Amino acid sequence: MERETMEFDVVIVGAGPAGLSAACRLKQLAPELMVCVVEKGSEVGAHILSGALFEPRALNELFPDWQQRQAPLTTAVNKDALYLLKENGEVELPGWAIPPSMHNNGNYIISLGNLCRWLAEQAEALGVEIYPGFPAADILYGADNQVIGIQTGDMGRLKDGSEGPQFQPGMQLLAKYTLFAEGCRGHLGKELIERFALDKGKDPQHYALGFKELWRIPKAQHQPGLVVHGAGWPLDDTASGGSFLYHLDDDLVSVGLIVDLNYRDPYLSPFDEFQRLKHHPLFAKYLSGGERLSYGARAIAKGGFNALPQTVFPGGLLIGCDAGTLNFAKIKGSHTAMKSGMLAAEAVAATLTGSQPLTPQSFDERFTQSWLYQELYQHRNFGAALHKWGPLWGGVFNWFEQKCLANKAPWTLSDAIADHQQLETIDSHRPREYPKPDGKLSFDRLSSVFISNTNHEENQPCHLKLKDPSLPVSYNLPHFAEPAQRYCPAGVYEIVEEGDARRLQINAQNCIHCKTCDIKDPSLNIRWCPPEGGGGPNYPNM
């Protein structure tokens, strides 16, 4: 098939904080370079989801005058509280008992989607070409196995894969260097890590599933700048994670729950645990009488330093959450994603302008001299400690390491068991009964997906691929009661009965692109692929 081809110096896959920061830095350093960013969402920011508490360190470096440029950082954190939650009460930890990495002085409560929209404006003003609605479907390789660009997805294919009447073939975007900034569990990043063995000698990446809702609450209950974090309930000893409630401007709050995907109970439903959370007195006192405006969920790469792959491969780099640069000790990944993109841009610009060849060794030297390396290395044990000893004793260990040892511990903890391998069979657990949603604080999946503005062209091929279509019924159902029915936050997967037979039905139109199914399926049998461009959620102000 003949495809249109365009050539650039650099192609960047993904218009998140890493990709856009890389694009801006490239044009700042070498304005003559031709830089292109492709984004699968219908617009920049449409697929961006984060809490979000934002540390402006990288932004200060990228645009020191960001305030004059009116970056959307308007709500500074003015109070920071951490609670241990029980079902009907809570205990607030004193400031001295909270690990220093979790303090938020100098940070901002923001919409990361709006920050990305602003970054896109800065990038376009510098001459970057940005193409929303164009997913990178495939990687293009040269004769000597180096990456030479990407191919965007075809449009107008029918369910059986044939060409429909509106068919348009994807384009080939060729580049001297390609930067992959797809976010957590990027499908092309996975391919590159496997093809070039970039994770050799590293811990497996670890993940969490993060939920978020945006609410407008009564003015009397609103405290702009207040940050609330919770640990403990509603999660029990089979799962770990934490909750949050952040007060933005304009009577808006974001509320959410993060559930680590190493949980053991196959009957656990992270979505329903999130709905329970909002009935806790600490959260209900702010949310009661409010209006839920938006809902979303997204996987989070939280393996940290010990799971970082080699990011350089022939023809490109992995950046941001595609590489796993989030600092889970801070529960923040935006500033680290931005810095990783900036470091990659500086290395690529030096190569293309002839001052320094880009090799894994040269980039490692650049990386190890940066504050990003220092920050991730200092907190390398945080997640592993929580996984090994739970939130209480793991928290004590992290407090001791940060407070008493000043992040200079002589040891490194390993976290070598992948999340999907931790799920236990139904023999060890009982089914859970969750309360019905009340339509005021708690809601069902379908009404939640509705307010995520998710949409897919229905007559396209299913973008959720089963490597073995028989496994959901033959293996997952008898051993794990098919957990996809519960870990999916959008009701994509359900077991349906047809006479005496049962099968897994995939409601791909509901998919909000969280990637949990690609991570948590016990056999890693589900492969997430990008649907047609512009499909998926359309998050406003998230």
- Under DSSP, is residue 159 helix (H, G, I), strand (E, B) or coil? coil
Mean pLDDT for 272-298 is: 98
Residues whose CB falls within 8 Å of the CB of residue 482, separated by 6 or more in sequence, listed in order: 472, 473, 476, 493, 495, 504
Distance CA 204, CA 416 (A): 6
Average pLDDT of the chain is 96
- Taking alpha carbons only, the member of 336, 326, 24, 321 closest to residue 180 is 321
> In whole angstroms, what is the distance from residue 442 CA to residue 266 CA?
22
Average pLDDT over residues 338-343: 98
- Note the pLDDT tens digit of each residue in 216-244: 999 999 999 999 999 999 999 999 999 99
Residue with tokens 């959008």: 490
If you ran DSSP here, which 8-state letter would residue 145 be given?
S
| pLDDT for 389 | 87
Among the listed residues 383, 322, 364, the one whose alpha carbon sits nearest the alpha carbon of residue 12: 322
Instruction: Region of 285 please: left (phi>0), alpha (psi -120 to 50) or beta.
Output: alpha
Half-sphere exposure of 73 (CA within 13 A, CB side): 21
- Between the two ends of the chain, the Cα-to-Cα distance in Å is 39
Do strands 5-13 and 172-180 pair parallel, antiparallel, or not at all (unpaired)?
A: parallel
Please determine, for residue 395, whether its predicted confidence score (pLDDT) is greater than 90.
no
Of all helices (H) and strands (E), which one includes residue 117? helix 112-126
Residue 306 token pair: 């010990």
Q: What is the mean pLDDT of residues 514-542?
A: 96
- Please give the full DSSP string across 383-408, using - where no structure is assigned: HHHHHHHHHHHHHHHHHIIIIISTT-
- Say if strands 75-76 and 79-86 run parallel, antiparallel, or are unpaired: unpaired
Both tokens of 253, joined, read 């709050």
User: In terms of Cα–Cα distance, which of 101, 330, 108 is closest to 224?
Assistant: 108
CB 476 within 8 A of CB 468: no
Residue 390 has a pLDDT of 82
The Cα-based distances of 254 to 285, 286, 293, 540 in angstroms read 14, 11, 10, 13
| Separation of CA 139 from chain center | 21
Q: What is the pTM of this model?
A: 0.96
- Report pLDDT digits (tens) over 37-56: 999 999 999 999 998 999 99
Average pLDDT of the residues in 176-191: 98
Helix or strand or coil: residue 132?
strand
Residue 388 binned pLDDT confidence (cut-offs 50, 70, 90): confident
Give the Cα separation of 298 and 539 in Å (integer): 12
Burial call 507-526: b when 16+ CB within 10 Å, e when fewer: bbbbbbbbbbbbbbbbeebb
Residue 526 in tokens: 């589900």
Directed axis angle between helix 334-352 and helix 360-368, to 10°?
A: 130
Average pLDDT over residues 111-121: 98
Q: Reply yes or no on whether the pLDDT at 523 is more than 90.
A: yes
427-437 confidence digits (pLDDT tens) = 999 999 999 99
Query: Whole-angstrom Cα distance, residue 337 to residue 112?
Result: 12
pLDDT for residue 393: 85
Using CA atoms of 13, 15, 20, 23 in order, give the dihedral in degrees to the nearest 10. Answer: 40
The pLDDT value given to residue 460: 95
The backbone torsions φ and ψ at residue 485, rounded to the nearest 5 degrees and listed phi first, read -65, -25
Average pLDDT over residues 163-184: 96
Cis amide bond preceding 234, omega within 30: yes
Q: How far apart are CA 540 and CA 253, in angstroms?
A: 14
Q: What does the pLDDT average to over 508-512?
A: 97
| Statement: residue 403 has pLDDT above 90 | no
Task: Return the pLDDT at 458.
Answer: 87
Average pLDDT over residues 23-50: 97
Contact present, 398 and 99 (Cβ < 8 Å): yes
| CA dihedral sign of residues 114, 70, 109, 179 | positive
- Residue 40 near residue 511, CB atoms below 8 Å: no
Q: What is the pLDDT of residue 499?
A: 87
Tokens 């001791």: give the residue.
400
Report the pLDDT value the prediction gives residue 1, as an integer from 0 to 100: 79
Which tokens hold the place of 120?
A: 């896109």
Average pLDDT estimate for 488-503:
94
The CA R_g of the chain, rounded to the nearest whole Å, is: 22
Preceding omega of 337 cis (within 30 degrees of 0): no
Alpha carbon distance 149, 140 (integer Å): 5
Q: Which of 230, 228, 222, 243 is nearest to 90 (CA)?
A: 230
In 3D, which of 333, 363, 308 has the Cα closest to residue 17? 333
Q: What is the mean pLDDT of residues 486-496?
A: 97
Pairing of strands 136-141, 75-76: unpaired
Sequence-ordered list of residues with C-beta below 8 angstroms from that of 165, at least 6 positions apart, any chain: 156
Residue found under tokens 């401007």: 249
